[in-house]
Structures are given as structure tokens and as C-alpha cells.
Structure 1
Amino acid sequence: MSPEFVAVAMFGTLFVVLFMGHPLAFSLGAVAVLFGLLGWGGSPDQIFGIFANKTYGVMEEYVLVAVPLFIFMAQMLDASGVAEKLFHTMHVLWGPVRGGLGIAVILVCTVFAASTGVVGATEVAIGLLAAPNLLKRGYDIPMTAGCICAGGTLGILIPPSIMLVVYGGLTNISVGKLFAAAMLPGLTLSSLYIIYVAVRCGLNPKMGPPLPKEERTQSAKQKLGMVFTSLIPPLFLIFMVLGSIVAGIATTTEAAGLGAIGAMLLALAYRRLTWAAIVDSATATMKITCMVMVLFLGGNAFQSIFMGLGGGDAVSSVLLGLQVSPYVVLFIMMGIVFFLGMFIDWLGILLIVIPVFTPVAQELGFDPLWFGTLICVNLQMAFLTPPFGYSLFYLRGIAPPEMTMGLIYKGVIPFICLQWIGLIACVMYQPLIMYLPTALFGE
């Protein structure tokens, strides 16, 4: 088989298998076995030997120990009621403004994202609180859906992020530098969402009416107390995790352990630390970690066969052979990642495209840290893009009946456009990504 045929046939077969409804991890592994047998003469020994080596390599990756620790931290924060207290505080502070509750949702998601690193935990926690409140006060259904889904996806980009930990493990880039590089892009996206909601609801108050005066009963002292009790504890947790990494006190894995302990202490402070909460959090952590690891193994199997049969070289030669600007090639790669995000989980995309695109980016002269952060910014869109965006289904699972899937799709489209604006801004103005890593870690 020619490398070009391998590249087309493996991806084509993978999409067919996925559209038949099979799980991504097992689809990746099955396609890898099939093409390994076809490409290497039907001998399974070589194939399974490669798989065993790849599996052992994953198990040896120390930085991946941070994944279950960050997941446990997210689950404990969910159980602690931090999101509930934050949302109530932001509800009071921003309620009098047009679109204020939508802005409050995004602000709470931003703070919660910087505390958890998991999209599902953020979106479900905020969605259960926000969707009924916003709809009861007359907010536009697509606007409500868009705020919750887009705000929830910030958890995969704003550090500490599981995606950044995985990317660092795949590429041997410092996770601390990835955390620093992703901070400003994440906050930029959050700001774009807030500006959009404020402008849209300012022009059309029916989309996000302010709270009536009878609900604005809190004094300035009460508001200050609410901010102190609800905002300071999660900010301290963020400082403890990210600050220990930046200061060089702890590795990413050690900082994740600190975060897990900190989340339990927060739950204790809020009187939510029960044996049932610990068991539920540990069980959810085990399930999610197993899912991530199985995807890792399936993705590594697909990647090893694809690269071994020359598929990666074929794609690289096509991209590098284009007589165009390097930035045109960059946007072609970003477009491919965006397209894959409509159908495949972010982890599957990373495992498939990183071995192919990273050498191309280096050949074109792009900084690996900058390019990797662009990929991660792009992958945030994978949670929103129909038809298979995970955030859409997270919200539909907890939303009131009147929030149909069609209205959720309608609501996220403007936010996908904002994500593209944020991605283009990161390409056009590189300090948006590179300033913090350079300031904190040097050139």
C-alpha cells in the first residue's frame, strides 16, 4: 500500500466505523489492527509488539498521574458547592445589568475553569444552577444555552487543564509553560463572550432583561461579604496549584495533588465533605480516568500503525509541498483540526494529529509552544461544534424540556464564531500566547 492510500483509507475507515456508532477508543484500535495486518503481510506479532511497547510508554509517563488528581479535584469542587455560592454572588452583583445573568454565568465558568480543568464538571454544575434561573427571568433560550456551553468549555483551556497536561505528555513540552501560554488566550475568549452578551442584550433587552428592583435587596456590606466568602476560597486554590508550578516549588503532578487536597479542604469548610461525597468523587474519577487511558491506548495504536505505514510522511509531504505562505499551511491544519472536532473527541484528535502536524510546524519554523497552544485553543471548539459537540449533550441532559437540541445548536453558533476570532487573534498577535511563558520562564 502506498503511503497516500494509507492516509486516506485509514481516516476514511475510521469515520465509517464511528458513524456506525462504535466507541472511539475501540474504533481506533480496530482500524489500527486491520491496517497493520494488511500493511505488514498479515503477521500479528509485529503489530502487537508495537502496541505493547506503546502501552508501556503510556504507563511510564509520570506527568499523566496528574490527570486523575485534577479530575478528583474537579469532582470534589463540584461536591463542595463552590459553583453554587459563586453563581449566587455573581447573580446579585450582575443582575441589575442587561444580560447580567449571562455575564455572571461566564464569569463563574471562568473562575470554576481555573479551579477544575474539566468541562463536564463545570458545565453540569453551572447548567443545573443557571438554566432554570435565566429562563425563569425571561432570558432568550439560545442565548442561555450559548452562555452555559461556551462558558463551560473554558475548563479545557484555562489552566489547570487536563488537555494541556495530556498535550505536554505527548510532545514533551513543559506543562508549566503550556499552562502559562494558555492563560491569556483563555481569558481573551472569556472576555469576548462577555462583550458579546453585553452588546447583544444591550441592543435587545428582551434577550437578557435585568433583575427587577424588588430582587435587589442586598446592601453593599452584604455584597462584599458574599464576594469574600464565595470568591476568595477558589482563588486561593487556583493560586496554590498554579503558583506552586510557576514558582518551581512543585511539579505538575505534585501541584495536582495539592489541588486535590485543597478541594477537600474547601468541601470541609463549606460543610459538604461527607463520606458519600468522597466515594462518589473517587468513583467518577476512576471512570473518567479509565476512559481517558483507554482512548490513549486506542489512539497510540492508530498513531503507531499510521506512522509506521508512512501515512504521516505522506500528509507532511503534501502540506510542505504546497507553494504557499507558512500561515496558509497553518490555517489548513487548523481547519482540519476544526473539522475533526465536529466528529471526534479532543483526546482522539490530539493522538491522531500531533505526530503528523508537529513535524510540519517545526519544518515551517513555528515555535512548538505557540503552535501547541493554538491547537488547544482550536480544540475548545470541538466541544461546541455540531453535530457531536460534547458540551451540547452535557447541557441537553440537564436542561429544561423547552431547551431543545435545535435551540442549543442555534445558541452556540455565535460563540463558535467568537472562538475563531480568538484563534485568529492568537495567530496574528503572538505575544497573546508567548508573553507569560517568556515573562515567567525566560526565553
Structure 2
Amino acid sequence: MSPEVLTLLMFATLIVAIVFGHPLAFTLAWVAAVFGLIDNGFNVPALFDMFVNNAWGIMNNYVLVAIPLFIFMAQLLDKSRVAEKLFDALYVVLGSLRGGLGLAVVVVCTVFAATTGIIGASVVAMGLLATPALLQKGYQKELTSGIICATGTLGILIPPSIMMVVYGGLTGLKETSVGNLFAGAVIPGLILSSLYFIYIFIRCALNPSLGPPISKEEASRYTTAQKWAMTLKSMVPPLALIFLVMGTILLGIATPTEAAGMGVLGAFLLALFNRAVNWKMLKDSSVATLRTTCMVMMLFIGGKCFSTVFLSMGGGDVVADFLIGSGLNRWVVLFIMMAIVFIMGMFIDWAAILLVTVPIFMPIAMELDFDPLWFSMLMCVNLQTSFLTPPFGYALFYFAGVAPKEYNMMTIYKGILPFVGLQILGLIAIILFPQTVTWLPSLFFH
């Protein structure tokens, strides 16, 4: 069978299996096994050796040790009420503005994203914490769901990010090391956060009924000095943790894995300071970390097997010849690759997209003389959008699970559409201004 036919059949089989709801990690491995046997003439020992070597290589990757550490850090922070205290302070400080509570959610989620790379934790925490407050103050239901879902996804982009760790371990390139990816993601993450902030501010200024301010009596309960004290008291602990993790990486003091270990210690101390540490909390955090880590690593192994078989049977060459050999302008090829990732994000988990597309698209990007780090950040911003795009955006279902009864999926879909547009606008800005990605890594890592 020709590589072209095998490539089409392999992708078609994967899509059909996913549509029928089979577990993603095992689907990737199963499809890889079937087409690997077809390609090598049903040589079972050879295919088994290839899969074992791939799994062994993943488990020997020192960088991936950061994954359970960052997940554990996120679980500890989720239990330590850091986000809750920050929201309570900003509720008073920004609440008197039109759309002020929505702006407070953006700030809290941006800070929270810089301390944890777990989307579910951010969306669920802010969904439970902020949704009742916003709805009680008269915020539009669609705008409320859009704010929480969109800002909650910043955790997958703003470092420390699990996606960056997986991406860095997948490429193995010096240009796309985890440290470079972390540094390169800071400004794009802040650009998206700023776009959300500006959009909410302008929209609520033009139509105050969408996000009315809190009452003057409620806003005047605290003096200016008290507001500053509340903000500083709630902001300093997470900022200290951000410096402990990101600061040590950017200053070259620690590797991402070492910084993750320090982040766990910092998160534990914060939880201890907030009197949230007990045996049940530690047990629940540990079990949740184990489950999430197992899921990520199984996806990693299944995706690695899939991409290895796909490349070994010539699928990568088929795609590369189609895109590069077509004679299209390199920017058109870039648009096609981004469009493929965007469309896949509507239906498939980010990890699967990453594991399937990166081994194929990265060589094409380098062949077209695109900066590897800049291209990687385009992929990551695009993959963040996959959490928001209907019908299967994960953030939408996380929010639906904790939203009040008056919400339905159509209301959530309507609320998220403007923020998907802002995501695309942010992606365009990064394409037009590559320095937004490359400046910080060049400053710290030369």
C-alpha cells in the first residue's frame, strides 16, 4: 500500500475512533499498532521493540519530571484559597467600575495562571467563586460565562504550563527548550489577557447593563488605604510564588524541573500559611496529581507511538510534499497549518493534537525558514483556543459542570464566541510581531 493511502487511512481511522468516544491514549496506540503492522509486514516483535523503546525514551526524559510537580503545585494552590482572597480584594478595588468584577476575574485568572498550568482548576475555581457574584450584580449570563471560560484557559499558556513542558520534551530542540518556551510565552499570554481586559472594559462602558458596577455604599465601605492593604496582602503571596518558579528559571538559577520542585514547596507553604493543610487535603491533592499525571503520560506514550509509526511509513513526507511541493507561498502554508490545528481543536484534546502535529509540522516550519520558537508559540496559542471552540471545548464543559441551573450549553457557546475572536486577534498580533515571542528569551538566554 502506498504511503499516501496509508496516511489517509490512518488519519481517517483515528478520527472515526475519536468520534465514537474511545479513550484517546489507547486509541492513538491502537491505531499506531494496526498501521505499524500493515506497514512492516506484520512483524510483531519489531513493532513491539519500537513501542518499548519509545516508551522507555519518554520515561527517561528528565524534563517530564516537571509535569507531576507542576500538577501537584496546582492542586495545593487550588486548596489554599489564594485565588479566593485575591478576588475578594479586587472585588472591592475594581467593583465600582463598569465591568469591574469582570476585570477582577481577568486579573485573578492571569495571576492564577502564572502559578498553575491546570485549566480545569482555574475554570472550576473561578466558576464556583465568581459566577454567583457576577450574576447577583446583574452581569449578562453570556458575558459571565465567556469571561470565566476564556480567562481560565490562560493557565495552559502563561508559564508554568504543562503544555510547554510536553512540547519541549517532544521536540528536543535547543531553540524550543522548556526554558525558552516559558520565556517566550510570557508576553503572548499577557497580550491575550490585555485583550480580554480591554474588551470587557469597552463593552461594559458602552453598555453598562452588561456589567453594572457594585453599589456606592458597598464600594465606600473601605478607605483607599484599606483597599491598597487588601490588594497587597492578597497579591504578594502569588507574586512571590511566580518569582520562585519563573524568576529562578529566567535568571538561570534553576532548571524548569528544579523550579517545579521549589514551586511545590512554595505552594505548600502558602497552604500552610492559610491554614489549609491537613491529611485529607494532602491525600486528595496527591491522588488528583497521580490521576492527571497518569493521563498525561499515557497520552504521551500513545501519541509518541502514533507519530513514530506515521513518520516511519512516510506520512510525514506525504504531508511535507503536499504543503512544500505545492509551490504555495510559505505564509499560505503557515495559514494552512494553523487552520488544521484550529479545526482539530474543535474536536480533539490538545495533547493529542500536539503529539500528532508537532512531529509533522515542525520540520516543515524549519524547512520554510520560520523561527522554531516563534512557530511553537503560534501552535501553543492556537491550542489554547481549542479549550474554547465549540462543540467540544474542555473549558466550556468544566464551566457547565459548576454553572448555576439557568445555564445551558447554547448560552455558554454564545458567550465564548467573542473571546474566540480575541484569541484569533492575539494570534495575528504574534504573527505580525515575532518579537513578542523572541525578545524575552533572547534577553535572558541570549
Q: State the TM-score, normalizing by the size of structure 2.
A: 0.98
Distance 2:281 2:25 in 1: 29
- Could you tell me how far 1:29 is from its partner in structure 2? 1.0
Could you say which residue in structure 2 is the equivalent of 1:44?
A: 44
- Could you tell me how far 1:426 is from its partner in structure 2? 0.4
Q: Aligned pair 1:210/2:213, yes or no?
A: yes
2:194 maps to amino acid: S
Could you say which residue in structure 2 is the equivalent of 1:86?
A: 86
- Could you tell me how far 1:322 is from its partner in structure 2? 2.3
Gaps of 5+ in 1: none
SS of alignment partner, residue 383 of structure 1: coil
Q: Aligned pair 1:4/2:4, yes or no?
A: yes
Deviation track 1:69-117 (CA, whole Å, cap 9, x = no partner) reads 0000000001000010011111111111111111111110000000111
Deviation track 1:191-226 (CA, whole Å, cap 9, x = no partner) reads 000111111111111111111112111111211121
Could you say which residue in structure 2 is the equivalent of 1:286?
A: 290
- Could you tell me how far 1:42 is from its partner in structure 2? 2.1
2:180 maps to amino acid: K
Pick from 322, 332, 343: which aligns with 2:336?
Answer: 332
Could you say which residue in structure 2 is the equivalent of 1:315?
A: 319
Could you say which residue in structure 2 is the equivalent of 1:427?
A: 431
Distance 1:32 1:170 in 2: 17
Q: Aligned pair 1:414/2:438, yes or no?
A: no
Could you say which residue in structure 2 is the equivalent of 1:198?
A: 201
Distance 2:411 2:23 in 1: 27
Could you say which residue in structure 2 is the equivalent of 1:185?
A: 188
Q: Aligned pair 1:252/2:245, yes or no?
A: no
Distance 2:327 2:318 in 1: 16
Could you say which residue in structure 2 is the equivalent of 1:241?
A: 245
Could you say which residue in structure 2 is the equivalent of 1:358?
A: 362
Q: Aligned pair 1:277/2:281, yes or no?
A: yes
Distance 1:114 1:129 in 2: 19
Q: Aligned pair 1:397/2:401, yes or no?
A: yes
Distance 1:367 1:281 in 2: 39
Could you say which residue in structure 1 is the equivalent of 2:101?
A: 101
Could you say which residue in structure 1 is the equivalent of 2:236?
A: 232
2:269 maps to amino acid: L
SS of alignment partner, residue 374 of structure 2: helix
SS of alignment partner, residue 300 of structure 2: helix
Distance 1:87 1:404 in 2: 25
SS of alignment partner, residue 115 of structure 1: coil
Structure 1, 221-230 or 78-87: larger mean CA deviation: 221-230
SS of alignment partner, residue 114 of structure 2: helix
Matches for 1:341-380 after TM superposition, within 5 Å: 341-380=345-384
Structure 1, 118-127 or 350-359: larger mean CA deviation: 118-127
Matches for 1:66-215 after TM superposition, within 5 Å: 66-172=66-172, 173-215=176-218
Structure 1, 412-421 or 36-45: larger mean CA deviation: 36-45
- Could you tell me how far 1:377 is from its partner in structure 2? 0.9
Structure 1, 420-429 or 28-37: larger mean CA deviation: 28-37
1:250 maps to amino acid: A
- Could you tell me how far 1:3 is from its partner in structure 2? 1.5
Share of identical aligned residues, percent?
A: 57
Aligned-residue RMSD, C-alpha: 0.9
Distance 2:78 2:56 in 1: 33
- Could you tell me how far 1:263 is from its partner in structure 2? 0.1
1:21 maps to amino acid: G
Matches for 1:16-27 after TM superposition, within 5 Å: 16-27=16-27
SS of alignment partner, residue 25 of structure 2: helix
Could you say which residue in structure 2 is the equivalent of 1:439?
A: 443
- Could you tell me how far 1:372 is from its partner in structure 2? 0.7
1:145 maps to amino acid: S
1:13 maps to amino acid: T
- Could you tell me how far 1:305 is from its partner in structure 2? 1.1
Could you say which residue in structure 2 is the equivalent of 1:223?
A: 227
Distance 2:36 2:224 in 1: 67
1:317 maps to amino acid: D
1:114 maps to amino acid: A
- Could you tell me how far 1:229 is from its partner in structure 2? 1.4
- Could you tell me how far 1:357 is from its partner in structure 2? 0.4
Could you say which residue in structure 1 is the equivalent of 2:54?
A: 54
SS of alignment partner, residue 202 of structure 1: helix
Deviation track 1:92-147 (CA, whole Å, cap 9, x = no partner) reads 11111111111111110000000111111111111110111111111111100000
Distance 1:112 1:411 in 2: 22
Distance 1:324 1:22 in 2: 37
Q: Aligned pair 1:296/2:300, yes or no?
A: yes
Could you say which residue in structure 1 is the equivalent of 2:28?
A: 28
Distance 2:69 2:108 in 1: 22
Distance 1:229 1:48 in 2: 56
The count of corresponding residues between Structure 1 and Structure 2 is: 442
Distance 2:282 2:263 in 1: 15
1:304 maps to amino acid: T
Q: Which consecutive aligned stretches of 4+ in structure 1 deviate over 6 angstroms post-superposition?
A: none
Deviation track 1:11-35 (CA, whole Å, cap 9, x = no partner) reads 1111111111111111111111111
Distance 1:424 1:228 in 2: 35
Distance 2:188 2:421 in 1: 15
1:196 maps to amino acid: Y
